[in-house]
Amino acid sequence: MELSLYIDLLNSEISEEHNGLIVISGIFNGDINNGNTVYVAPAGSFHGYIKAKDLIISGIVQGSIEVNNLIIHSSGQLYYDKLIYKELVTKEGAIIAQQAISPDISKNNNVIKREPLPYSDKHVHFNSSF
């Protein structure tokens, strides 16, 4: 995952090379399945399940995550039930915390590294509260 995508997002210069980009800059409750790149902006808040190739967190994410590449910036906060990733990059100040889980789940290791996931190349932008 390149830093250029994050810079492009900050400058609102999204090009063809970022097909399948989902930007969340408001409040989103739900699931994202087979996304290419999901970006939770600093003002964004996501609660649900994300399965994507790349996840960039600058806002708040709560839920279950399955991604190849996970980047959490200094303003980013991740509160997970289940976390599966191939590569993880965190910036100073980032928050990663496991949420309270049921006794049945707590017997298993919730942080698992897996092979790359399939993804979609559709472009979607969420800029509102649901």
Q: How many domains does the chain have?
A: 1
Tell me what pLDDT residue 3 has: 47
Residue 44: predicted pLDDT:
96
The answer to the question of residue 34 being in a domain is yes
Is there a domain that residue 41 lies in? yes
Residues with Cβ within 8 Å of residue 45, at least 6 apart in sequence: 24, 26, 27, 28, 59, 60, 61
Domain that holds residue 51: 3-99+109-115
- Token digits for 15? 């090009």
Does 124 fall in a domain? no
Strands 60-72 and 87-90: parallel
With respect to residue 129, please indicate whether it lies within any of the assigned structural domains: no
Q: What is the pLDDT along the chain (130 residues), one digit of tens a residue?
A: 444 555 455 554 545 555 678 999 999 999 999 889 999 999 999 999 999 999 999 999 999 999 999 999 999 999 999 999 999 999 999 999 998 654 444 445 555 555 555 555 555 555 544 4
Instruction: Assess if residue 81 is contained within a domain.
Output: yes
